[in-house]
Amino acid sequence: MKPRHFIRTFLAAGLMCLASSVVTFAQRSERGGEDMRQQIHDAKVSMISNRLKLTAEQSEKFWPIYNEFSEKRRSLRRAQRKVINERRDGGITDKAALENLKEVQELKQKEVDLEKQYQDRFLSVISPSQLAELQSAEKSFNDMLLQRLDRKRE
């Protein structure tokens, strides 16, 4: 077996173990929400690193940029959810609903602008194909996490 193939296989197996432990830990969120978030973060880092096949040099430069980007994107998404939840509470006028819709659109545009802004920073560290794979890896990770949490709730 080639050393590279062995390392990838080892990383994939480690990722699966870590992901399954994340789900188990998620059930105990009331006792350690911060620990759960850290385990989810660690599993995500492992999966993305593996899927992008980051070199040590790329990884060293990529993760600070990605973490900064993720935090800004998370903040925008929280703001969107807050606005949407205000609308769900009901009892708002048509004028308020329209303002609410415009605010959500503005927040979505800010997210697109953020992605454009960080694209150049990412491309200074990783290749365009790795950047494309990043989007796929993020979606795969989120889908996997949601599926595992749903299965545990059943």
In degrees to the nearest 10, what's the CA dihedral of 6, 12, 14, 15? 160
For the chain, the residue count is 154
What pTM was estimated for this model as a whole?
0.73
Residue 19 to residue 110: CA distance in whole angstroms? 31
Please check whether residue 39 is in contact with residue 57, taking contact to mean a CB–CB distance below 8 angstroms: no
Sign of CA dihedral 25, 27, 28, 33: positive
What was the pLDDT predicted at 29?
47
> Which residues does the chain have with pLDDT short of 50?
6, 10-18, 25, 29
What was the pLDDT predicted at 31?
54
Query: Hey, where are the domains in the chain?
Result: 1-53+132-154, 55-125
What was the pLDDT predicted at 93?
84
SS3 77: helix
pLDDT tens digits, 53-92:
999 999 999 999 999 999 999 999 999 999 888 877 667 8
Among candidates 86, 78, 34, 41, which has minimal Cα distance to 63? 41
The angle formed by the CA atoms of residues 126, 4 and 19, to the nearest 5 degrees, is 75
